[in-house]
Amino acid sequence: MTPDEILSRHAAALARRRTLEPTWQDCYDHALPAPGAAPLFDATAADAAEQLAASLLAELAPPWSRWFDLAPAREGDDATLAQQLRDAAATLQGHLDRSNFALELHQAFLDLVVAGTGVVLVEEAPPGESSALRFRAIPLRDAVLEEGASGRLDTVFRALRLSADAVRARWPQAVLPKRDTDATLRVVEAAWPDPRTGHRFAAVLDAEDGAPVLLAEGAFAENPFVAFRWLKLPGETYGRGPVAKALPDIRTANKVVELILKNASIAATGIWLAEDDGVLNPATIRLVPGAIIPKAQGSSGLTPLAAPGNFDVSQIVLGDLRARIRSALLADRIAPTDKAPMTATEVLERGAAAARLLGATYGRLQSELLTPLVARCLAILRRRGEIPAIRVDGREARLTYASPLARVQARADAADTLLFLQSAGALGPQATATLDAAAAARWLARTLNAPAEILRPSASPSQE
């Protein structure tokens, strides 16, 4: 794309997005209000949104824990390749642990829960830092997305306001037009797929008084911008989050709590009648203990006005609203329970329930977030020479997940296999003679992600 095409496509995509911005702002105002926003009276949605974002991080990519692995694409491949893949996975895990991965991914999950779409920028850190990877959660208000033929958000635009010094620091080779150095410059970054190089990147200076200026361009094996969605409807580009689904209940609960507080204020201070007798001045009355309020002789002075009734029914309505909000944001189903300790059966059932609830969402996050993110990180480490030139494309190597949510299905498969082995053992020696105990142990080890060091090497056909 030329600089003019980049600015034109960005403007067109931004115009298509404007119809969604009021709904996004409403979701943020009720779930993650910014300083100075309208006051909130009920914090159920804000608390549940933060819990869901933290739970997603712990279930999909727990910090300082191995939540992925690399394995040969076919069983029985060269043992050297398997060891190289394990070493590459360990190297990547070390860089993730030393980077700001957990912090930025959690912020992106907050955008995902509230607005339905999250964006993470994966960059290569300067030489000398403890990690080769640097992550940055891009606010959704700054990112303009386009869906490609693959169904993913593979074209990303980002508009920035930078000073001239910041532009030179980010792109030292950029040639800036002569203008006031104190003015901020509007820069549009774009990343899009390219069939020859993988992905292209360009940064364009939007010069309002002249032609756009190309500041930098380059090619990447993987897209540096990783965009992912919670839920997507046919024909839509951006995702829908759970906060948008629960927004009617969130608004109503906020209004109910506001009315309850107003009613409580009336109950505490009361409503009073005063006779206009020329002596009593309502503007100077202070309803405090020990106060003496003057009145004319024969007048009634201040008279309390009876309230029409109480607002007890609001507690029933509010309880139902809060329960529906927490249910929509999965706060009571994924977050840890206060009861301790949980039995093993309860742990398995809670994990299975979470897998059922997040089945479609987890599949989308695995396809749009985890796989591209790992591929981008591996590309950076390959470029720096820290891992061999191995591509995780399904033909040479494959990516497997070992996060808590991914292990739920593995545990279910292992439980079914153990039940079969137990049932076969009850049938007698003739049934057990048909079983290969060593093969069953190796399969269970792979399914439950057991370390390879605890297994003996399998015998080759010549040794057998």
pLDDT single digits (tens) 367-403: 899 999 999 999 999 999 898 888 777 777 888 887 7
And the tokens for 456? 């003996």
Q: How confident is the model at residue 457 (pLDDT cuts 50, 70, 90)?
A: low
d(CA 191, CA 194): 9
Question: Would you state the pLDDT for residue 238?
Answer: 93
Pairwise CA distance, residues 108 & 119, whole Å: 6
Burial label for 237, CB within 10 Å (0-12, 13-18, 19+), is middle
CB-based contacts of 192: which residues, under 8 Å, 6+ apart? 1, 154, 155, 156, 199, 200
Report the pLDDT value the prediction gives residue 335, as an integer from 0 to 100.
Answer: 47
pLDDT at residue 179, as a whole number = 63
36-45, 86-95, 160-169, 278-287: the lowest-pLDDT one: 278-287
CB distance 344 to 351 below 8 Å: no
Query: Using an 8 Å Cβ cutoff, are 213 and 193 in contact?
Result: no
> Cβ of 12: how many Cβ atoms within 10 Å?
12
Percent of the chain with pLDDT over 70: 83
Query: Cα 71 to chain center, whole Å?
Result: 27
Asked if 167 contacts 184 with a C-beta cutoff of 8 angstroms, the reply is no
Question: Can you give the pLDDT at residue 459?
Answer: 55
When pLDDT is cut at 50, 70 and 90, the band that residue 268 belongs to is: confident
pTM: 0.81
The model's pLDDT over 396-439, given as tens digits with 9 standing for 90+, comes to 788 888 777 677 667 777 888 888 888 888 888 877 788 888 88
Q: How far is CA 348 from the centre of its chain?
A: 24
| Radius of gyration of the chain from its Cα atoms, rounded to whole angstroms | 30
pLDDT above 90 covers a percentage of the chain that reads 31
Is the pLDDT at 109 greater than 60, yes or no?
Answer: yes
The string of pLDDT tens digits covering residues 322-378 is 989 998 888 866 545 555 666 666 666 766 676 677 777 888 888 899 999 999 999
User: Do 199 and 155 form a contact (C-beta atoms < 8 A)?
Assistant: no
Q: Where are the alpha helices (DSSP H) in 180-241?
A: none
* Separation in Å, CA 98 to CA 56, 94, 131, 133, 243: 20, 6, 6, 9, 32
- Amino acid residing at 293: I
Cα torsion 289, 292, 295, 297 to 10°: value is 120
Q: What is the pLDDT of residues 286-321, one digit of tens each?
A: 777 666 677 776 777 777 766 655 556 677 788 888
Interval 71-86 mean pLDDT: 76
- Which whole-number Å values give the CA distances from 210 to 27, 176, 206, 213, 254, in the listed order? 38, 12, 8, 9, 49
Dihedral pair phi/psi, residue 288, rounded to 5°: -130, 155
pLDDT of 180 reads 55
pLDDT, residue 250, reads: 93
* pLDDT tens-digit map of 210-266: 788 888 898 998 899 999 999 888 888 999 999 999 999 999 999 988 888 887 777
Helices and strands, number each (H, E), in the chain:
16, 12
